[in-house]
Structure 1
Amino acid sequence: MKTIIYKAYRYETMKDIIEAGYAKLADDGNSVLNEIMNKEEQKVPTEMIWKSNALSNLKKELLG
């Protein structure tokens, strides 16, 4: 999963995943495009970003 964090308001909250190498920081449109075009694969532990059973958890919260 390729994750790109755009350097905008409160991007610092993603510092941990950027420093761990799980996401790339982009500060302008060209940087975003370069990261999208880069074929380098990022290995990201899913639990680092998503809670397990995310879809089911979301349905539960929305439907009660």
Structure 2
Amino acid sequence: MISKSKKNLFIIIFVILGMLLVLKFRDHNFQRAVDACVAGSKQLATITDLDAAKKFCEEQISKKD
């Protein structure tokens, strides 16, 4: 049987690993959101430059965080 202290240690390690995974993939999710925004903004006639569209999307997504 696992003692209570070992069980608590496993829970703490599990939580830390979960937090590390979330932090690691945060940039990936942000980049996917920017790519989707850029793809959607290609249909708008007001933004024709790819770099301008990417900058606009990054600013808009960062505002929501």
Structures share fold, TM-score greater than 0.5: no
Whose relative contact order is higher, 1 or 2, with alpha carbons under 8 Å and at least 6 apart? 1
TM-score by length of 2: 0.24
Give 1 or 2: higher strand fraction: 1
